[in-house]
Protein backbone atom coordinates (compact mmCIF):
# COMPACT_ATOMS: atom_id res chain seq x y z
CA UNK A 1 0.00 0.00 0.00
CA UNK A 2 0.88 3.66 -0.08
CA UNK A 3 3.37 5.01 2.45
CA UNK A 4 3.53 8.77 3.01
CA UNK A 5 6.36 10.33 5.00
CA UNK A 6 6.12 13.92 6.25
CA UNK A 7 8.79 16.29 7.57
CA UNK A 8 9.32 18.09 9.83
CA UNK A 9 7.14 16.86 12.68
CA UNK A 10 7.20 20.30 14.32
CA UNK A 11 7.87 23.72 12.86
CA UNK A 12 8.10 27.04 14.66
CA UNK A 13 8.19 30.22 12.59
CA UNK A 14 8.11 33.94 13.28
CA UNK A 15 4.94 35.69 12.20
CA UNK A 16 5.39 36.95 8.66
CA UNK A 17 7.97 34.31 7.73
CA UNK A 18 7.34 31.36 5.42
CA UNK A 19 6.71 27.74 6.41
CA UNK A 20 7.51 24.73 4.26
CA UNK A 21 6.38 21.15 4.87
CA UNK A 22 7.61 18.27 2.73
CA UNK A 23 6.13 14.86 1.96
CA UNK A 24 7.25 11.84 0.01
CA UNK A 25 5.11 8.97 -1.22
CA UNK A 26 5.88 5.46 -2.38
CA UNK A 27 3.13 4.41 -4.80
CA UNK A 28 3.74 5.65 -8.33
CA UNK A 29 0.01 5.15 -9.03
CA UNK A 30 -0.91 7.96 -6.64
CA UNK A 31 -2.30 10.92 -8.54
CA UNK A 32 -4.14 13.02 -5.97
CA UNK A 33 -2.36 14.92 -3.18
CA UNK A 34 -4.43 16.94 -0.71
CA UNK A 35 -3.30 18.92 2.33
CA UNK A 36 -5.45 19.11 5.44
CA UNK A 37 -5.29 21.49 8.40
CA UNK A 38 -6.43 20.34 11.83
CA UNK A 39 -7.10 22.78 14.63
CA UNK A 40 -7.32 21.68 18.23
CA UNK A 41 -10.48 19.71 18.97
CA UNK A 42 -11.64 19.69 15.36
CA UNK A 43 -11.55 17.40 12.39
CA UNK A 44 -9.11 17.96 9.53
CA UNK A 45 -10.13 20.45 6.85
CA UNK A 46 -8.94 20.52 3.25
CA UNK A 47 -6.88 23.62 2.47
CA UNK A 48 -5.44 22.82 -0.95
CA UNK A 49 -4.93 19.86 -3.25
CA UNK A 50 -3.02 19.04 -6.41
CA UNK A 51 -3.29 16.39 -9.09
CA UNK A 52 -0.47 14.67 -10.88
CA UNK A 53 -0.99 16.53 -14.13
CA UNK A 54 -0.05 19.81 -12.44
CA UNK A 55 3.32 20.82 -11.01
CA UNK A 56 2.22 23.73 -8.83
CA UNK A 57 -0.97 25.25 -7.47
CA UNK A 58 -1.46 28.42 -5.49
CA UNK A 59 -4.30 29.82 -3.40
CA UNK A 60 -3.55 33.18 -1.80
CA UNK A 61 -0.83 32.58 0.82
CA UNK A 62 -0.60 28.82 0.35
CA UNK A 63 0.94 26.87 -2.49
CA UNK A 64 1.70 23.25 -3.22
CA UNK A 65 4.35 21.85 -5.52
CA UNK A 66 4.59 18.31 -6.87
CA UNK A 67 7.55 16.43 -8.32
CA UNK A 68 6.19 13.14 -9.68
CA UNK A 69 9.59 11.87 -10.76
CA UNK A 70 11.01 12.20 -7.28
CA UNK A 71 7.67 11.31 -5.63
CA UNK A 72 7.58 14.31 -3.36
CA UNK A 73 5.29 17.26 -2.79
CA UNK A 74 5.48 20.30 -0.55
CA UNK A 75 3.23 22.85 1.12
CA UNK A 76 4.37 26.45 1.27
CA UNK A 77 2.72 29.03 3.52
CA UNK A 78 3.89 32.61 3.04
CA UNK A 79 3.42 35.60 5.36
CA UNK A 80 2.41 33.32 8.22
CA UNK A 81 -0.16 34.56 10.72
CA UNK A 82 -1.10 33.31 14.21
CA UNK A 83 -4.21 31.63 12.81
CA UNK A 84 -1.95 29.41 10.69
CA UNK A 85 -0.91 27.61 13.90
CA UNK A 86 -2.31 24.08 13.57
CA UNK A 87 -1.38 20.52 12.60
CA UNK A 88 -0.98 20.02 8.85
CA UNK A 89 -1.32 16.66 7.13
CA UNK A 90 -0.35 15.67 3.64
CA UNK A 91 -2.02 12.72 1.95
CA UNK A 92 -1.83 10.70 -1.24
CA UNK A 93 -4.33 8.62 -3.14
CA UNK A 94 -4.69 6.76 -6.42
CA UNK A 95 -8.49 6.97 -6.52
CA UNK A 96 -9.40 10.27 -4.78
CA UNK A 97 -11.01 8.45 -1.88
CA UNK A 98 -8.61 6.03 -0.21
CA UNK A 99 -6.29 8.58 1.39
CA UNK A 100 -2.99 7.65 3.05
CA UNK A 101 -1.96 10.41 5.44
CA UNK A 102 1.43 11.57 6.60
CA UNK A 103 2.16 11.75 10.33
CA UNK A 104 1.45 15.47 10.54
CA UNK A 105 3.40 18.66 11.19
CA UNK A 106 2.61 20.88 14.17
CA UNK A 107 3.12 24.46 13.04
CA UNK A 108 3.48 27.21 15.62
CA UNK A 109 3.54 30.83 14.48
CA UNK A 110 5.27 33.07 17.03
CA UNK A 111 3.94 36.60 17.36
Partner 1 sequence: DAGVIQSPRHEVTEMGQEVTLRCKPISGHDYLFWYRQTMMRGLELLIYFNNNVPIDDSGMPEDRFSAKMPNASFSTLKIQPSEPRDSAVYFCASSLWGSAEAFFGQGTRLTVV
Residues in the chain: 111
Whether the bond between 8 and the residue before it is cis, its omega within 30 degrees of 0, is yes
Residue 83 backbone dihedrals phi, psi, to 5 degrees: -70, -5
Cβ-based nearer residue to partner 1, 46 or 54: 46
State yes or no: residue 34 binds partner 1 (CB under 8 A): yes
**Binding of partner 1 at residue 89 (CB under 8 A)?**
yes
Task: State the Cα–Cα distance between residues 32 and 13, nearest whole angstrom.
Answer: 28
Q: Is 103 in the site for partner 1 (CB under 8 A)?
A: yes
The correct pick among 41, 60, 69, 70 for binding partner 1 (CB under 8 A) is 41
**44 or 75: whose CB is closer to partner 1?**
44
Amino acid sequence: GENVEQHPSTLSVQEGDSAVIKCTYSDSASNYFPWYKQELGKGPQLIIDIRSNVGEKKDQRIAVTLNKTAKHFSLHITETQPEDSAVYFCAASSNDYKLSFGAGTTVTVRA
